[in-house]
Structure 1
Amino acid sequence: MKNVSLILSLSVLTLLYGCSTPVSDKTSGKQVSKPVTPEIEVIEDSELSALDLLSAASNESNNQSTILLLQASAKFIYEQQLEQALHISIELSKLELTKGQYNYNQLNIAEALFELGYTDLAALELAKIETDSPVKRQLFLQANLNVQQDLLVDGIISFLDYHQQFPVQSIDEAAYLSSLFSKLTPWQKHALTKRSATDLNGWLEYSDIVANNGYKSANLNSSLKKWQKSNKQHPANLLTPDLIASVLEIENSLGYKNIAVLVPLSGREAPLGKTIQAGIIAVYQTHPERQLTFIDTNSDEMTDIVDQLHSIKPDFVIGPLLKQHVDSYLATNQQQTDITETELVNDEFIISQGVEESITEQSVVTDEDLQNFPLEESHSWFTLLLNLPEHAFLSKNQFALSMLPEDEASQAAFSLSQQGFKSALILSQNTAIGKRMANSFAEQWQKQTSSDASIIYYPTGNKMQQAVKQGLDVNLSDERIYLLRNRIKENVKAEARNRRDVDMIYMFATPDQARLLKPYIDVNISPFANAIPMYASSRSYNVDIDRNTRRDLNGLTFTEIPWLLPMKQVNPLMSADAKQIWPNRSSQLERIYAMGIDALQLVDKVKAMQLVPMLRHKGETGTLQMDANGIISRTLSWGKYRTSRIQNVEMQ
């Protein structure tokens, strides 16, 4: 059937080529097409199949045949025969079309490319449409393209603009809009508050309510009732009954009492494990009814540790922490799950191991028996991993904390792009992690500004400052001054000038490197130019700093977890106690301690975050949110070096 349609489309297009009427170009003598008229035609959808439309086109006049072919291309897209649709549209683009036909054909090309997975190409083709009155299909495609290109803020605005003309009619449409708002990070959400669209304010208020109360039905119900009084016609009203029911279900299923914690308590990584242990115990003091069991992941093989978990039967597992232990834990769990799963033999279920005592080994059971005697999976307990797995996938009962530095870099790039900066220079360590962070920043920067950031990778040691000088083009200015002085025998007074195409610098550097780089950049900025604002990642911040360090880094703005910023802690009393007990603890261990605090607090929230994706946890490591894969990411706060103190900054 595919070959028949392609042959038929080719024959019709060939017929159209023969019917086109060229006109003479008097200036060149060449044959050119007649100029496109500015009319906009309305091309209605057809009830005929794509093949029927192709057949009909072969028997019609030139203009009517073109319309039928345009309809056929759109119908092929509807029928998911995308190659045929794209073939017809590309051939039609070579013919003389009216403005309306051209726009319709471009829409077909863009939609076919989008459905085939060529998102960037689809966006380029869609942008070629020339109209002030976009049609329904065009608006819908533009919204989907924005979302697929990871332009979530633009995608939400596009969908709200679409629904302004075509209001939400079903709970599925409302649920999809809700899912987009659920994905918003705090920094994206702040950017969205500066935009305007139909129902936007109502959605923002609704998402705030769910984010703060999505695990407490009483608070949620009360807040939503107040919201509904001023948003009676808002599409989110379609979602509130199911939302409240889900939160009630969550409340009834909570109450984890027996918690096992898998961290390294011996060996080289013992300081990390013991610091997490201390953070967990700090929170545990507010929930003494729970049973905590700490298991040293450096003392036994993972198979023995999982066997121990089967013995103590925990409700919830926190950890492992180290990446190799995470992968081993997931693999061991999966292997044991495979052993205890049911096996399908001759269309009958055979229970081999791990069954209820009342079912004998190798007995044949029916579906009804399985309902009466459910199997217990080896990993039926909930697990919050403290690191991301390298290869394995998470089950529905497994979650993972993400502390990826790439996420921090992406947040910084987005937030800084919203400050009006247009051209960024990235100074990064010439290391694997430095390159990952620089690339993440650059990718987000390009998405938001449509411009490429300049990246300078500096080596450690004496060559670091020279690399920075080259990045600022100061060395080129020095060379010009040197040449000028050699040509003119008189003494020439000159100041080197830095490049002027950079309005912001972002660095990925250790505290010691930042202390060398920041003053060096300051002195290499031309006195004729404005100071270039400088920003940094949390790697540049050290809680143990003196006045001289603050002076050298004065004005440097950086991202950091709330726990390490003044008056940003969620629990200031807990912070004060920790500083009294461990006054000289390093910044790295402080961040690990904060992770331990958040880990135990998340025990009561991960299931809610899974069922209510809008829910947020304001933790000591940042504002935490979960994606559809069970990965919990964080949004950091901002601080700024001052000579006498660290200042909080509201970048959002």
Structure 2
Amino acid sequence: MNVCLRPLTVLFMACLLAACASKQGGSIGELPSAPDASIEQMLEEANDSDPEEANALRLSAADLAYQQQDFMRSSSILQQVPLQSLQPAQQVYAQTLQAELALHRNKPKSALNDLNHPSFQYLAQLPVKQQVRSSLVRAEALQADNQTLAAARERVFIAPLLSGDTASSNHEMIWELVASLPNDQLQAGNDADLSGWLALAQISRSASSLEQQQAAIDDWRNKNPQHPAALKLPKPLTEIKALASQSPNKVGLLLPQQGQLASVAEALRNGFMAAYYQTLASGASAPEIILYDSSQLTSMDQFYQQAKLDGIDLVVGPLEKPLVRQLNAQSQLPITTLALNYSDTTEPGPPQLFQFGLSAEDEAREVARRAWADGMRRAVALVPRGEWGDRTLAAFQQSWLAEGGSLIAAEHVEQPVELAQQIASLFQLRDSEARAKRLKSLLGVDIASQPARRQDIDFIFLAATPQQAQQIKPTLAFQYAGDVPVYATSHLLGGSINQPQPADLNGILFCETPWLLNTSAPLQQQVIAQWPQAAGSMGRLFAMGNDAYLLTSYLAQLKALPDSNTQGLSGLLSLSPTQRVVRQLPWAEFRDGFVQPL
């Protein structure tokens, strides 16, 4: 059998020699040149070849297994190749394949580590096909590792080398990446193409209506006629002109002016009207706004009758959850409605109903996304006892398991006196203490021992009030778990974000609205000067009200383009298949007694 396969080696070496002859000096070697053979043939031939031939054959076999989506076999073959004995070109080839396999295992940090091998300093000397492959893998790894700007930069860098479907896909992905960046990262740099993309994202985001957005895009194209995005607008931007005709002319803002929710409604109304007046001040067209008092309603049917008589073509509200439940149970609504709360069910409502709110479930899902991107895989959860804690835990668990993570245990906290026992139970400290006692009893002598916690926990998901969080972090340290990372929702933040925070919170990572984290924004400074409550928890409601106005223009776009989003003051906004507005949030950390954005 081996004799029959010898011509394969001759062919393979001929390819290598021909390539070397075309390379001056051949100092970095050549990429493997896969012959027309099966994996089995290449591996068998490698067994009868000298080390240099064998390495090249095994690299080709590992790559063929990867292309055939036999990832375990590809990894197994690749492990047989001694990386350090390869020339730089083959090291680039091997490390790129290793990174692709790491991405398949959802390990972007490992992939980036593979792509940082010293051999990549020679990447520009390799054939374009390898440059493209390595750069696109790097871009995917950066994106999976939550390094969005770096991923966009990598794709902009490689774009001139692409063609056909790959070029089109990369073009759209650049826009998707820059469109999801927070405002403080949309700053021009030294790269003209990337700066153009960032400027396009910035001007399209700053518009308060689709008409204004279209005008800003047209102006940008006139000033940058040779930019790749001007030559070919990303798909979401090409749809704006058609969608602009769907913007409402009259909006009914339906909020309670009396009762328990009056202060919440006031914050929402302030944010909504601030955005409205800002639009008018910019010279852009804005819909007419009519205010309605939902606390005076006897039935939603009666309200819709009045709204239709008033010419309303979009309702923003109601806020009250019972009214949202009523709407969600209907098969049809007479007017498109953006409710400012969520119904309890996950079942989709009528096609005219959209739902938007500051739900803890959104933040729980954000924790799952961020923790997974950070390489966490095994979690425990601490949530308050009660319906709110149950909903938050359920949302986290669903998203975390969907990512591929494992939820080892969960505790519902309520009484401070129970907290130490609950955390000890989570980390199995009592088992450790019991083992020490049994050993002491068996030996009959005192022994020096320290309880040891279980080591299979990567992080803690925490949803808690400020008072609970300030008790939990020190208790973790007392129970030998102070080194376990804690990822939390925003509910543990008390007071203004600029105020000193309790030292007991140091080290906790948490997600928060852009409004509260971007304290230097001129709009925020102006609003807080007139309404100081906007610097604290009421600021989240102000941001939500502002985004509710933003959505009056953008709902049609988010629905027509499922992968699109728009940056708001309460988060990066997109639409779920059930027409719920989903918020993606930035992150911060309690550090040295203050909140530090990440």
Q: How does 1:295-334 map to 2 (within 5 A)?
A: 295-296=293-294, 299-329=297-327, 334=331
Give the TM-score taking structure 2 as reference length: 0.61
How well do the aligned residues superpose, as a CA RMSD in angstroms?
5.6
Q: Are 1:217 and 2:214 an aligned pair?
A: yes
What is the match of residue 480 of structure 1?
A: 435
Q: Deviations over 1:512-538 (max 9, x none)?
A: 221221110012227xxx833323111
Q: Are 1:647 and 2:595 an aligned pair?
A: yes
Q: Deviations over 1:445-472 (max 9, x none)?
A: x44xxx5343322342233321211222
Q: Output the CA distance in 2 between the equivalents of 1:511 and 1:244.
A: 42
Deviation at 1:306, TM superposition (A): 0.8
What is the match of residue 637 of structure 1?
A: 586
What is the match of residue 410 of structure 1?
A: 365
Q: Output the CA distance in 2 between the equivalents of 1:547 and 1:335.
A: 47
Deviation at 1:294, TM superposition (A): 1.9
* Alignment CA distance shift 1:176-1:590 (3 Å): same
Could you tell me which of 383, 396, 407 is aligned with 1:438?
396
Contact 1:558 1:640 in 2 (8 A): yes
Deviation at 1:629, TM superposition (A): 6.1
The structure whose residues are more often helix, as a share, is 2
Q: Are 1:454 and 2:408 an aligned pair?
A: yes
Amino acid at match of 2:400: A
Q: Deviations over 1:261-296 (max 9, x none)?
A: 122344444443344234334444446784332231
Q: How does 1:7-406 map to 2 (within 5 A)?
A: 169=164, 174=168, 178=172, 182=176, 186=180, 206=197, 209-210=200-201, 212-213=203-204, 215=210, 216-224=213-221, 229=226, 239-240=232-233, 246-250=239-243, 254=247, 256=248, 258-286=250-278, 290-296=288-294, 299-329=297-327, 334-335=331-332, 378-379=334-335, 382-388=336-342, 390=345, 391-393=347-349, 395=351, 399-401=354-356, 403-406=358-361
Deviation at 1:561, TM superposition (A): 1.5
**Structure whose alpha-carbon radius of gyration is higher:** 1
Instruction: Give the gaps of 5 or more residues in structure 2.
Output: 1-7, 10-37, 39-59, 79-89, 94-102, 107-139, 185-191, 281-285
* Alignment CA distance shift 1:432-1:423 (3 Å): closer
Q: Output the CA distance in 2 between the equivalents of 1:508 and 1:466.
A: 18
Aligned residues: 475
What is the match of residue 14 of structure 1?
A: none
What is the match of residue 5 of structure 1?
A: none
Contact 1:210 1:220 in 2 (8 A): no
Amino acid at match of 1:383: T
Deviation at 1:558, TM superposition (A): 1.4
Q: Deviations over 1:212-250 (max 9, x none)?
A: 516423432454567774x6xx6x677429766543445
Contact 2:318 2:324 in 1 (8 A): yes
Q: Are 1:575 and 2:523 an aligned pair?
A: no
* Alignment CA distance shift 1:439-1:181 (3 Å): farther
Contact 1:260 1:314 in 2 (8 A): yes
What is the match of residue 450 of structure 2?
A: 495
What is the match of residue 426 of structure 1?
A: 381
Amino acid at match of 1:387: N
Instruction: Give the gaps of 5 or more residues in structure 1.
Output: 1-37, 40-66, 68-99, 111-121, 134-142, 191-200, 337-377
SS for the counterpart of 2:582 is strand
Q: Output the CA distance in 2 between the equivalents of 1:264 and 1:283.
A: 20
Q: Output the CA distance in 2 between the equivalents of 1:403 and 1:506.
A: 19
Q: Output the CA distance in 2 between the equivalents of 1:464 and 1:384.
A: 41
What is the match of residue 537 of structure 1?
A: 489
Q: Are 1:558 and 2:555 an aligned pair?
A: no
Amino acid at match of 1:478: E
Contact 1:458 1:468 in 2 (8 A): no
Give the TM-score taking structure 1 as reference length: 0.56
Amino acid at match of 1:452: S
Amino acid at match of 1:620: L
Contact 1:456 1:468 in 2 (8 A): no
Q: Deviations over 1:182-205 (max 9, x none)?
A: 499948999xxxxxxxxxx97997
